[in-house]
Structure 1
Amino acid sequence: MSTIELPARINASPRPAPGKKTRSVPDWLIAGGLTVLVLILLAWNIDGFPTASDDEGTYLAQAWAVQEGRGLAHYTYWYDHPPLGWIQLAALSWLPQLLVPSMIAVTAGRIAMLPVQAATLLLIYLVSRRSGMPKWGAALALLACGLSPLYLTMGRQIYLDSFAVMWILGAFALALSTRRHLWHYAAAGAAAAIAVLSKETIVIILPAVLLALWQNSARTSTRPWAVGSFFTGLVLVGGFYPLYAVLRGELFPGADHVSLIGAWQFQLMSRSGSGSVFDSSSGTNALIHSWLYYDQVILIGGLVAAMLTLAVRRLRPIGLAGAIFTLVALRPGGYMPAMYVVQVLPFFALALAGLIVTAVTRLEPRRDWWRAVAVGVFVAVALTFVVPRWYVGAERAVTNEDNAPYAQAAEYLDTRIADPAGTTVVVDDVLWIDCVDAGYQPDQVLWFYKLDLDSAVAERLPNGWRDVDYVVSSPAMRDNTSGLPTVAALLTNSTVVAEFGESEGRIEIRKVDKENAR
């Protein structure tokens, strides 16, 4: 593959005319101002859109367990995701809940994620600049990610992927450091390790971070030391989790205990796949179409840009990250999580901005009227194809009230149940913390999946569904009763005592009919 070098002039400021003084807007002001703009859009109606997901509730419950010192889960302990993501969430989530205790837990958790998104946007700008882009190109990368309707949707939600993306972008920024100190490279390795310990799936783009470091250290005689420093930081920080498993005797699979390697085997090999993206009936295909529903511009444009930037040396690490994400998404038979796109968006935005910078720089016409034509074409395309689509997505994000039924259900469970401490209630994970905060005993608030899939939870219910007092029926529960006979029996043998919302999005408080089984 031929290599295209970004011309040096993209980082050079034009010389001022004699007798004239020019003031360049500082990077911190551009990045800070644009980040504040995006954060306002993220925070506006954060409690109303999008609909709270069960995964958000699960991660919040894990963070609550860390805060309360109850272990790493509110259900049977095993090596799920590494715990560092939950620990970071626990450190951030206490303040919103303390300041506004009346809001539901998911809203408080979403507000706690705003500093993470702010750091991510600032790092996108920094990585752009250190990849050779001018200020306007770095601003374009930040806005391409931050204003995407897909980001305004997924960026509001509580996902461990957001922590991983923040740290891996930090690793890129350190690997591309213009000072090229060895401690920068060691810190890059440490940041990459923290990213993996926040969400292990980010490990797939470590080769892109290493490529950035390799290229950045090309002009020094310390490249071997730079690579060694990176791996030192990576191993010293990343090794704590396997060491924890070793000390507990839980590194390798065995009888009567969970194991770290066993969890990896489940995540990478034995977990049921979601099918091929090329199969119209597969879960992966449906998921990608749902992403495209929110934003085709950044996904399709970013994909093309990532492939093309592989030919641009300074942008090749970004292109490689985008290419790896794409290949993993296209693999047949693998499992595709709904939040996978959270990791993809920043790198597609970086690739898209980098490609535009390269085109403008290399194809910049010598005559001003050609420049005006090029700018006019770009603005026309943006106004015709990008702005209308993004406006609709942004309007949905700031106006929809999808979570009102959850807030009403949480208030009912808090005020209308006579004896919360003596009541056993089955919920989805969105309302788990709200029930605990309302006075229900943590071991009597049961995540519906665990009724049939967790033997420790089943032992608490010797009479099965008859030991449950209330079940809170939500879309997440109603859509996932296959293979969960106890949950199905609960929904069949219960009566609606309160209902919030309409149609498929309704939340029902159902009292279990213990005497009249159907």
Structure 2
Amino acid sequence: MTSTLPAATGAKVPARRTAAPETRPTDRPTPPRRLRSSRPDLLLCGLLLVAILLVQGWNIAAYPTLSDDEGTYLAQAWAVQRGAGLAHYTYWYDHPPLGWMQLALLTWIPAWLSPESMTVGTMRVVMLPVSAVSAVLLYVLARRLALPRWAAGLAMALFGLSPLSVVLQREIFLDNLAVMWTLLAFCLAASPSRHLWHHFGAGVAAATAVLTKETMLVVLPALLVTMWRHSHRDTRKFAVTGAVTACALIGLSYPLFALLKGELLPGSGHVSLWEGVKYQMTRPGSGFILDEGSGSHGVFQSWLYYDRVLPLGGLAGALLLLAVWRWSVTARALAGPALAVAVLAALALRPNGYLPAMYVIQALPFLALVLAGGTASVAHAVLRRGRRPGERRWTAGGRYALAAVLAIGAGAYVVPRWYDGDRTAVTADANAPYRAAAKWLGSEVAEPRDTRVLVDDALWLDLVHSGYRAGDGVIWFYKADLDPSVKETMPRGWRDLDYVVASPTVRRDAADLPIVRAAMEHSTPVAVFGTGEDRIEIRRLDTAAGGVR
């Protein structure tokens, strides 16, 4: 009644004015909702991707030196392709098998077209698409975390072009696959659309990362922080609960697999998941990372040998962002990646923990993100200097000049060191001794089918393609001592062998393997390739009955 009365009497009612919502100035750049529609982002990301693929792909088979772990994962993928089970020997619960199942898919077409190309050096090429996807996902994540375009490009360049990254991302490591899935999980968790399925997808991707390499489990708290910050307040609890549930249910498929096979707990006549977990938890440590005489310190120095900028600068960037978390919008946006760096650094600093060389791979994308984010924070502070009340006035030209001086100084320090490291990666041939040894064993042994030889897994597939019997003809040297099914075929121990290929890995680990050590002691070199510690010796057992033309 009251609303129609004025109109009935002809009185004019002033229009109700709705107060405009209060807006607060913010320093946080708005991330583009759809990067695929942003031409500058697509152009920058595309150019960096081309550069990364060129540097990582050039000379990929020749550098770095072939790793026994690479050979193991590729041989396990080969076994999956052939339907021979989860591994080329008795599968034990070292790592979940999902990682080399993915390798089996990646290498299936080239192995089908050219079976003899299923060797470590040749198949390193399949890591290039993994590196490409990871680099693009890192750029997307940087933009979704509201880093400016130039900082997102810097993070992508740090991740893909650092000499440390080039060396490690070339190698067939499960960690590289796990990093790809982890970055996908972070991208979904930080999606600006905030759809519930994005968070469920983040949980699925995180579980896939953990089942690819179980060490990614330690990064999940950082993922949870990112998801909490970027989820909608009204649906946050439901989204996070759904993501955690999806991750847990998929992750539990691995112990369920062991349970269904009757291999969850120890027992006679079979391996068990419990024994695998126990081994990982009780394996001898490599010492404190800052103790100069420890193995961990040697691993740390090997990282710094390739690049000091990314690991040390990234750690400094993480500490900076965590220290200014309350006052910096960028620091709050990068809270998840900074937490990931802090957790990984704390685990590496355990007094007597085990520190493998590939451990740093899972930290590389987060180191790149926080280093780029810290750089963006410093640049933002420099460019804003003198704008606030009470501060000494700076001209715009002075601010930009200071930023340019800082950028040139950083470039003058980084570029020469990266140039030297990347030039080595694209020119050096560290694997000539391996190729020569494989050629000798393929051409100088009269009856490969009837010859038994101990090798590391980097050469295992080469010799299988040369006609040696897989499993009990060409033998992964660890299995001669540790696999009962292999030991059954060697009732006389080392006397049942014809050759042992003494690569650096075999010489290093022979001290803990009695049969391998005895084979080394009762053999003489018949061919040596390379020099120094990197040499490869082909040693014939003193009791070997012929076999050489």
- CA distance 1:100–1:295, shift in 2 (3 Å): farther
Give the distance between the partners of 1:253 and 1:497, measured in 2 at CA.
43
Structure 1 unaligned residues grouped into runs of 5+? 14-22
Give the distance between the partners of 2:252 and 2:28, measured in 1 at CA.
43
Give the distance between the partners of 2:25 and 2:375, measured in 1 at CA.
12
User: 1:156: Cα distance to partner?
Assistant: 0.6
Equivalent residue, structure 1, for 2:454: 426
1:377-434: CA deviations, max 9, x gaps?
Answer: 2233223321111111011101110101111221222222221111111111100011
| Pairing partner for 1:376 from 404, 413, 425 | 404
Give the distance between the partners of 1:409 and 1:98, measured in 2 at CA.
25
Give the distance between the partners of 1:441 and 1:24, measured in 2 at CA.
55
Q: Where do residues 188-203 of structure 1 align in structure 2 (5 Å cutoff)?
A: 188-203=202-217
- CA distance 1:463–1:261, shift in 2 (3 Å): closer
Give the distance between the partners of 1:6 and 1:190, measured in 2 at CA.
37
Matching residue's letter, 1:299: P
1:401 match: secondary structure:
coil
Matching residue's letter, 1:313: R
| Pairing partner for 2:511 from 453, 472, 482 | 482
**TM score, norm. by length of structure 1:** 0.92
2:510 match: secondary structure:
coil
1:395 match: secondary structure:
helix
1:74-108: CA deviations, max 9, x gaps?
Answer: 22321110000010011112334455666571112
Give the distance between the partners of 1:103 and 1:502, measured in 2 at CA.
27
| Pairing partner for 1:459 from 481, 488, 491 | 488
Aligned residues: 501
User: 1:52: Cα distance to partner?
Assistant: 0.5
Equivalent residue, structure 2, for 1:317: 336
Paired residues of 1:471 and 1:510 also in contact (CA < 8 A):
yes
User: 1:461: Cα distance to partner?
Assistant: 0.7
Q: Where do residues 398-477 of structure 1 align in structure 2 (5 Å cutoff)?
A: 398-443=426-471, 444-477=473-506
Give the distance between the partners of 1:102 and 1:68, measured in 2 at CA.
14
Q: Does residue 343 of the first structure (1) align with residue 354 of the second (2)?
A: no
Q: Does residue 74 of the first structure (1) align with residue 88 of the second (2)?
A: yes
Give the distance between the partners of 1:79 and 1:177, measured in 2 at CA.
35
The one of the two structures with greater contact order (alpha-carbon pairs below 8 A, sep at least 6) is: 1
- CA distance 1:249–1:317, shift in 2 (3 Å): same
Q: Does residue 497 of the first structure (1) align with residue 526 of the second (2)?
A: yes
2:223 match: secondary structure:
helix
Q: Does residue 161 of the first structure (1) align with residue 180 of the second (2)?
A: no
- CA distance 1:96–1:502, shift in 2 (3 Å): farther
User: 1:309: Cα distance to partner?
Assistant: 1.8
Paired residues of 2:28 and 2:146 also in contact (CA < 8 A):
no
User: 1:235: Cα distance to partner?
Assistant: 2.5
Q: Where do residues 384-403 of structure 1 align in structure 2 (5 Å cutoff)?
A: 384-403=412-431
1:343-394: CA deviations, max 9, x gaps?
Answer: 1111100000011112222431463322332233223322332111111101
Paired residues of 2:455 and 2:501 also in contact (CA < 8 A):
yes
1:155 match: secondary structure:
helix
Give the distance between the partners of 1:291 and 1:513, measured in 2 at CA.
41
Equivalent residue, structure 2, for 1:285: 297
Paired residues of 2:379 and 2:403 also in contact (CA < 8 A):
no
Equivalent residue, structure 1, for 2:6: none
Paired residues of 1:45 and 1:398 also in contact (CA < 8 A):
yes
Paired residues of 1:189 and 1:234 also in contact (CA < 8 A):
yes
1:311-350: CA deviations, max 9, x gaps?
Answer: 1211101100111111110112111111001111111000
Matching residue's letter, 1:505: D
Equivalent residue, structure 2, for 1:352: 371
**TM score, norm. by length of structure 2:** 0.87
User: 1:197: Cα distance to partner?
Assistant: 0.3
Give the distance between the partners of 2:301 and 2:413, measured in 1 at CA.
18
Equivalent residue, structure 2, for 1:297: 309
Q: Which moved more, 1:425-434 or 1:31-40?
A: 31-40
Equivalent residue, structure 1, for 2:122: 108
Give the distance between the partners of 1:460 and 1:271, measured in 2 at CA.
28
Q: Does residue 245 of the first structure (1) align with residue 258 of the second (2)?
A: yes
Structure 2 unaligned residues grouped into runs of 5+? 1-23, 326-330, 388-394
Give the distance between the partners of 1:281 and 1:103, measured in 2 at CA.
41
1:226-285: CA deviations, max 9, x gaps?
Answer: 1122023212322221211121222233444322233222212x1111111132211111
Q: What is the RMSD computed on CA atoms of the aligned residues?
A: 2.1
1:511 match: secondary structure:
strand
Larger Rg, first or second structure (1 or 2): 2
Give the distance between the partners of 1:131 and 1:27, measured in 2 at CA.
14
Q: Does residue 58 of the first structure (1) align with residue 72 of the second (2)?
A: yes
User: 1:177: Cα distance to partner?
Assistant: 0.5
Paired residues of 2:289 and 2:349 also in contact (CA < 8 A):
yes
1:194-251: CA deviations, max 9, x gaps?
Answer: 000000000001011111110111x430011111220232123222212111212222
Q: Which moved more, 1:252-261 or 1:96-105?
A: 96-105
- CA distance 1:501–1:103, shift in 2 (3 Å): farther
Matching residue's letter, 1:325: L
Equivalent residue, structure 1, for 2:5: none
Give the distance between the partners of 1:43 and 1:227, measured in 2 at CA.
39
Q: Where do residues 223-242 of structure 1 align in structure 2 (5 Å cutoff)?
A: 223-242=236-255
Give the distance between the partners of 2:268 and 2:446, measured in 1 at CA.
44
| Pairing partner for 2:535 from 484, 496, 506 | 506
2:122 match: secondary structure:
helix
User: 1:500: Cα distance to partner?
Assistant: 2.0
1:412 match: secondary structure:
helix
